[in-house]
Amino acid sequence: MPIKTQGKVIVGEDARERITKDILTKSDLSKKELEFVLRKLQDATYKGSEFEMFYTSWVKLTEKLKKLS
């Protein structure tokens, strides 16, 4: 996906890097995105120690969602 910055068109790997660096890393997750991630985490199947990581992530994301609401 090409992007245009300051009159210059950037494509390929340079465009991907620019999008990741400038757009995605500087923005927080929206309420809708957090709800989506939480739904997907809830639907997944976890084994043994994975459940501990799920629970930790779930708590953090839920707290972030509460702050946005």
User: Does residue 10 fall inside a structural domain?
Assistant: no
Query: Which pair of structure tokens corresponds to residue 30?
Result: 């929206």
**Neighbour tally for 2: CB within 10 Å:** 9
Query: Look-up: residue for tokens 């910055």?
Result: 5
Which residue, among 55, 62, 7, 17, has the nearest Cα to 38 in the 3D structure? 62
Quote the number of domains for the chain: 1
Q: What is the pLDDT of residue 1?
A: 58
Give the global pTM. 0.60
Give 15-66 pLDDT, tens digit per residue: 778 777 766 666 688 899 999 999 999 999 999 889 999 999 999 999 999 9
| CA–CA separation, 42 and 51 (whole Å) | 11
Q: What is the pLDDT of residue 23?
A: 65
User: Does residue 15 fall inside a structural domain?
Assistant: no
Domain that holds residue 38: 31-68
User: Does residue 26 fall inside a structural domain?
Assistant: no
Q: What is the pLDDT of residue 14?
A: 79
